[in-house]
Structure 1
Amino acid sequence: MPPSLVSSWWYLIGNEPFSSLHIGNFTYHWYVRSTTEKLNMSNRRSKKASETRSAILSAARQRFTDEGFEASLSSIVEDAGITKGALFHHFENKQALYYEVWRTLQQEMNQDTQAAAAEGRSPGDPYSAMLAGARRYLEWAARPDYQRIVLIDGRAALGRDWYEADFDLSQKSVRVGVQYLVQQGAIATENAASSAVILQGALNGAGVALSRQVPGVTVESIYNTIEHLLRKLS
């Protein structure tokens, strides 16, 4: 006669749940994870994945700053203390990794310049906020990490994606500043779009000049020129 199922039930040994099954003269036990434990395991995996991603981005940012896009994935993996498999789990290829480092830098710069603009706004001078933001951007453009990753290697490393992403991230901030000047009556509404393009081009060109250490070009000299240009727009 084949073994018959006698019973199946849940019980606790200490604080751990087990399932027990009796078949004939044999009793089988197996451990069953509770919902809480499954959730805790999921949280631990998510935390580990987040820590790994952060380690990759930190190592990549330093390597790309020092060596540009030519930095090897092997060196980044070694610096991060992970395997290549772990890197490719988070990023499809080196270009995808570079883009994420580039995007993070751009977002940090945008947030910082917007904060500087808000802090520098003066009721008596409609240009003060944009000028404060422009100065902060120029300070970023003088930083080694921003210079190498964004201004020098960014366009070649990202190709067409560079222009679209740069336009979305940077042009948006300039348009906000120009729109404020329109509201203050400092720039005519019909000139808003062209003014934003001109200012964005001037700031990008200034950043590249700083990154290439063009003789006679400094943060202060560019700021003075930008201020003169901005106050002439109407």
Structure 2
Amino acid sequence: MGTNQRTAIVTGGARGIGAGISKRLAEDGMAVAVLDLDESACQAVVDEIAAAGGQALAVGADVSDPEQVEAAVRRVADELGAPTVLVNNAGIIRDNLIFKMSVEDWDSVIGVHLRGSFLMTKACQGFMTQEKFGRIVNLSSTSAQGNRGQVNYSAAKAGVQGFTKTLAIELGKFGVTANAIAPGFIETEMTAETAARIGISFDELKKMATDQAPVARTGKPEDIAHAVSFFASEGAGFTTGQVLYVAGGPCD
């Protein structure tokens, strides 16, 4: 392990966008902690990174639980090195129209996205400020602009954008940047769940998304991973507090 190797933590890293990001940051030469609720679910991604010659660690933690977050970040620091790159990607959906949405469905979505991003960032920022280098990348969504049946998710993802901008202001003088990526339609298990919820096949949903996108295709986890790679890079030190829509077309 080189002395200059950066250590990254990717939350929600076991599948979908998080797995894509984990693999890409490992390709970029970082040691990657693949963090998810179920540690064993992270092992396939870790094995894939190791097989490609990279270094990775599977870590199980509930990002909305302060004690689990503290323990997880300590373990990453001990086993891989000071985490100076953090990708807050962990997310869940509990979609419903507001009149049907339970308080639990509201709290759980806000808890994972917003509280989770807060707790993970709070636990990692000390390492970043000490190293005078840090890259925080938070996952927002085009749903931040409003999406029927997602009042909880939309509120969380809009909140992530304000959170990101404030981190940029507070941490900039320590060499730490904070940026957000707002994906459009990306092919993952989560978007497959959405298709099931609204009662259509995943192929139908993908076709609808393709028809609407100026680039005439759906997004893949690799598209988001590419944007994360830029924000996490050494060269992106003058780019902070930004929200980048990676959605196959223009967004406000």
TM-score between both structures, scaled by the size of structure 2: 0.31
Higher strand share: 2
Higher helix share: 1
TM-score between both structures, scaled by the size of structure 1: 0.33
Larger Rg over CA atoms = 1
